[in-house]
Chain A
Amino acid sequence: MRLQYPGGIRIVSVPCTGKVDLIHIMRAFEKGADGVYVLGCMEGECRYESGNLRARKRVDKAKDLLERIGIGGDRVSMYNLSSSEAPRFVEYAREMTERIRSLGPNPIKIASKRHEAA
Chain B
Amino acid sequence: MIVAKPKPVEEIIESVNGFDRILLVGCNECVTVCEAGGRKEVGVLASALRMHFLNQGKNVRIDEETLERQCDREYLEEVRNRIDQYDAVLSLACGVGVQFMAETYFQTPVVPGVDTCFMGVTEERGVWSERCQGCGQCVLARTGGICPVSRCAKRLFNGPCGGSTQGKCELSKDVECAWQLIIDRLTELGRLDDYEELAPVKDWSTERAGGPRRVEREDVRQ
A residues sitting closer than 8 Å to B (CB atoms) are 21-23, 26-27, 29-30, 65, 68-71, 107-108, 111-112, 114-115
Contact = CB atoms under 8 A, between A and B. Distances in A.
A30 B55 contact: no
Contacts of A111: 54-55, 57
B54 A23 contact: no
Interface string B37-67: 0001001100111111011110100000000
- With most chain A CB atoms within 10 A of its CB, the pick from B13, B51, B55 is B51
A65 B50 contact: no
Nearest to B10: A68
A47 to B, nearest CB: 20
Q: Please name the 4 residue pairs, one residue from A and one from B, whose CB atoms are nearest each other, closest first.
A: A26-B47, A69-B52, A111-B54, A23-B43
**B interface, over-half SS:** helix
B117 interface: no
Given A27-B47, A30-B47, A65-B9, A70 B55 contact: yes
Given A30-B47, A68-B10, A69-B48, A21 B55 contact: no
Interface residues of B, number: 18
Given A30-B50, A65-B9, A68-B10, A23 B55 contact: no
Contacts of A107: 55
- With most chain B CB atoms within 10 A of its CB, the pick from A29, A65, A69, A70 is A69
**A interface, over-half SS:** helix
Contact of B40 (A21, A29, A114): A21
A65 B41 CA distance: 12
A108 B51 contact: yes
15 contacts: A26-B44, A30-B47, A30-B50, A30-B51, A65-B9, A65-B44, A68-B8, A69-B9, A69-B48, A69-B52, A70-B55, A108-B51, A108-B54, A114-B57, A115-B57
A26 B54 contact: no
Contacts of B8: 68
Contacts of A112: 54
Interface in B1-29: 8-10, 13
Contacts of B54: 108, 111-112, 115
A65 B13 CA distance: 12
Nearest to B54: A111
Contacts of B52: 69-70
Nearest to A114: B57
A68 B44 contact: no
A92 B208 CA distance: 58
Contacts of B48: 26, 65, 68-69
Contacts of A22: 44
B12 to A, nearest CB: 10
Contacts of A26: 43-44, 47-48, 51
